[in-house]
Amino acid sequence: MNNHHYPSQLPLLIDGEWYGPEGHDTQAVINPATEEVLAQLPHASLADLDRALAAARRGFTTWSAMSPWARADVMKRAAEIVTDRKAAIAAILTMENGKPLADSLGELDRVIETIIWCAEEGKRAYGRVMPPRAPGVTESTIKRPVGPVAAFAPWNFPVVLVARKLAAALAAGCSIVIKPAEETPGACIELARAFQDAGVPAGVINVVFGNPAQISEYLIKSPIIRKVTFTGSVPVGKLLSKMASEHLKPATMELGGHSPVIVFDDVDVDRVARACATFKYRNAGQVCLSPNRFYVHENVHDRFVDAFTAAARALVVGNGMSPATQMGPLNNARRLHAAQAFVADARDRGARVAAGGSRIGTRGFFFEPTVLTGLDEQSSILHEEPFCPVAPIMSFSTIDEAVAKANGVDFGLAAYAFTRSIRNAATVTEVFEAGWIGINSFTPSLADAPIGGLKQSGVGYEGGPEGLDAYLHIKFVSQAMPV
């Protein structure tokens, strides 16, 4: 099927040195399309973490002393190296994550964009000069790197979510200890390798794996770590936020979502349904910004369901390394079981399965693109983040009803609406309780745009100048003439 190879060694990166599995506890990395073992991943010991922390402290001293221009030069070299190795890294990503190779290549494009954008934006971490209060006095603010960072990233977009943290931290002048997801280590290791080969000094980037609860607690409580950043589930985010708050450390939390889509009756129904299905089943629904609850005006509901269902059934599901594949497997058995449980619960409460609803085959974590209609309001899929290729579609009659249902969950990451009415668009833009809003469009996260959730979906921002500011602290400077 392909000529690409998964790395035989998955090392830790500590203080500029790579450490393989020898002498470490290990865990298997599984190909979700075949359930074959790709490689063994070493777990960092507490001694490894101590060395990574000490290295990050030294690395911060070195890196923060470099000018933003010098840091940007190194980062842009790293982007060039990632560009040269894009095909190989994308293949590694598909083998360990499951997504189609075209999607992996697209993720690498966003990684490259993120590195370059952050490298340039680091040169623009401006303070401000205030009007003097007295003759001979200047008053100003300056932005400086906050210190060594502990970063934790998930498996669904493992490289770009690591890159968002890594590039912003480095652009600000911080060092970093990263724990990517143990399910998808290979592509993240290659990203770190590109930075190292570009000339990032030893200790500035450290990559560790292991027991997530043990590593997060150990890193967050260390006095060396000055900033915590996490992308992942709400329960884990709450736990890490609590740990960070106990040590009064700033924390950025980009957590789960349950994004509503309101489809009004003035749209091109077939076209909108196809767009919704395409974005829903992207990465098998394992996307924080994924459209998860579809509220369609009663006048066009049935037509929308028909068109959406046809699009779902037409999707080619298979191994991501096959050029024909449009949707790969779920990443792990946990998500497969979750998809089965959501469908069973909805069905038990009277929902109709309009398409899909079942596992595909017995090998690999494949699940059919699924459409549910006629759902009971208490169905679990309407209240818990799905993170799987199951789409519940419901009808509404008034905009107030649609908005109330859209906002009626504890999540507030993204929300979408499709309409030709400027009035409808303006209304939902104001009343949606979400940090990321799409009107007549779905947009993946962008390097220059901030993403941040309301309610249970997180604290703080990643991306854009706001994301860079998360790795900077502000000093106020009042300087008078010498006396």
Catalytic residues: 254, 288
Count of beta carbons in the 10 Å neighbourhood of residue 198: 18
Residue 39's contacts (CB-CB under 8 Å, 6 or more residues apart) are 6, 7, 8, 9, 10, 28, 29, 186
- 178's torsion region: left (phi>0), alpha (psi -120 to 50) or beta? beta
| Sheet with 259-263: strands ordered across | 352-355, 370-373, 390-396, 291-297, 259-263, 414-418, 436-439
Nearest to 291 by CA among 320, 317, 312, 260: 260
The amino acid sitting at 183 is E
Q: Which two tokens stand for residue 269?
A: 């129904």
Cβ atoms within 10 Å of 266's Cβ, excluding its own: 14
Strand 12-14 vs strand 17-19: parallel, antiparallel, or unpaired? antiparallel
Integer Cα distance of 381 and 132 in angstroms: 58
Q: List the one residue out of 443, 187, 442, 445 whose CA is nearest residue 320.
A: 187
